[in-house]
Amino acid sequence: MISVHALRYWYFACLASIFMIFEVMVDLYQPRLMASIVDQGILGLGHDGKPDPDFILSTGAVMLLVTLSGCFCGIGSGVFANLFSQKAANRLRKDCFGRILDFSFAQTDRFPAGSLITRTTSDITQLRIMWGQMIRGAVRCGMFLFAGSVAMLSLSADFGAVVIVAMPVIIAEIVFFLWKTTPLFTSLQEKLDRLNSVIRENILGIRVVKAYVSQDRETGSFDSSARDLADVRFRIALLLAALHPLMNVVLNLAVAAVIYSGAVRVESGGMHPGAVMAGVTYMSQILMSLLMAAMIFQTVSRGSASARRIGEVLRQKRELGDGTLVRGSRPGFVSFRNVSFAYPGSHGFALHDVSFDLQAGGTLAIIGPTGSGKSTLAALIARFYDAEYGSVMVDDQDVRLFSKSALRSRVSVVLQTSQLFSGTVADNIAGGKGDYSVDEVVRAAKLAEADEFIRALPEGYDTPVGPGGSGLSGGQRQRLAISRALFRKSDILILDDATSALDFRTERRILDHLREDFSSVTKIIIAQRISTVMSADQILVLDQGRAAGCGSHSELMASSPLYRSIWESQMQEEK
């Protein structure tokens, strides 16, 4: 799956490889030129032992041109390798992020936020590095190993024997260290997940940390996570630090063997000194290519661990199938028919056998103790989850028949925790819509009782909002969230305890606006306060996921002991 993103830009990889082939050919040709300069130009072999300055200059000029051409090829290979790796990683990052946004709520719960951040940043960066190194390194190492070994054999069989002896030793060292480091790279990314999670939690909850004076505890948690990460990195660095010196020992022994063998051949008259110098250069190129291969295998080992983690995200199947229906026969009609639902991994039902009908334009209020399933019910209407049993109906059609985008474009949900985004106040009310009308934004803000405080901000509707709505009070964030929902003009409006941070008068004015200006909109209001739900057309009382009553305020006062006890306790508190 990940390889598809790389294959999309195969032409850049091919160009990088072609340029690298020419660069290596240049590198392999230069020792021959150097050997001829030593033998003919300096030692004067073939010229009665007299040096030949003209030959040195002419051959040196050729070497310079060859070097410049190799430099050009190296630059070209680097440019195309980077184009390939950057574009493939960018495409992969976008697809990975899009896949995360398409997760169901259940899938989002399986991956900690810190882990998803690491996978879309650090892990994809490791893949980018791996792709870039593999394109250039694989070609370079392969050619040096093959062509360099052939060149060594063409100079002397003894030189070839040195290569045959040295290569298995170095390969054995590489395999051993890869075997030891591969599991550590997986552990490294997991430790990075944990560190990112701690950072994210503390930044988002900085007010709580300060309010409860828990900086020392959170600092200790961060120190522990950072220490674990550093320990794994140190173990990896220690192994890699030992690999390079050991490989250098073999490299130097091999070079010494070539020099000794060449000296013996030169003394016997079977070889020229220039050939010995060329053999040393080829030997260095071969063994340095093996050292480079070790670095590439190290990168591949870490990149493979990252690829597995990214693959876990991309392989997540779409749990909520997508229908094709855009609109049903009774717009705004909402019905639950014997609906039961349990969260993944839970041992009990969050909702059990719940049924009700809500006519278009009607208002349903939902009340009940904490944990009774109120927010779960709202999540099923917007199809954040699918009911396990029964049917959730919108427009007199099962929500599973709708296209998710079509369904959610007609259902506006305001949560108790009001999430705002970076941008201006107007941008947040418009919900990311690029071509919004300022008049429509202002109207939505007025209906949510937000216009007055917005105009008091330094730049009014153009005032920047920090991430998460930083700088605004809880009540201000809730009113902006309600404004955003009203701006959409959806057929169904769900307020999930969305007025909990507002005072009674502000809440009452907003509910009056909803009743007067949104009479055709189906409204579902989840609340803890009796005063919020009393005027609804019907009130659903939930208790431990079951319907404990449904009717008007007066009907429930007569028929529902739970509703009556909630009313009596709240009235007593008010008194």
* Burial class (CB within 10 angstroms; exposed 0-12, middle 13-18, buried 19+) of 72: middle
Name the residue among 284, 9, 270, 213 with its Cα closest to residue 128.
Answer: 9
CB of 303 within 8 A of CB of 130? yes
The three-state secondary structure class of 130 is: helix
CA atoms of 294 and 291, how far apart (whole Å)? 5
Per-residue pLDDT of the chain (575 residues; tens, 9 = 90+): 566 667 788 888 888 888 888 887 887 777 777 777 776 766 666 666 667 677 778 777 888 888 888 888 888 888 998 898 888 888 888 888 888 888 877 777 777 777 788 888 888 888 888 888 888 877 887 777 777 777 777 777 777 677 777 777 777 877 777 777 777 877 877 787 788 777 777 776 676 676 667 778 778 888 888 888 888 888 877 877 777 777 777 777 877 777 777 777 776 766 677 777 777 777 777 777 777 777 777 777 778 878 888 888 888 877 777 777 777 778 888 999 999 998 877 778 889 999 999 898 899 989 988 888 888 898 888 888 888 889 999 988 888 888 888 888 888 888 877 778 878 888 888 876 767 788 888 898 898 888 888 898 888 888 888 777 777 888 888 888 888 888 888 889 998 888 887 888 888 888 888 888 888 889 999 888 888 888 888 999 988 888 888 888 888 888 888 888 888 887 766 55
Name the residue among 530, 539, 527 with its Cα closest to residue 497.
Answer: 527
The three-state secondary structure class of 9 is: coil
Question: Position 433: which residue type?
Answer: K
| Cα atoms in the 13 Å half-sphere on the side-chain side of 150 | 7
Residue with the two structure tokens 């909109």: 521
CA atoms of 500 and 418, how far apart (whole Å)? 11
Kind and range of the H or E element at 454? helix 451-455
Ordered structural domains, the chain, with CATH: 2-314 (1.20.1560.10), 325-410+492-575 (3.40.50.300), 417-489 (3.40.50.300)
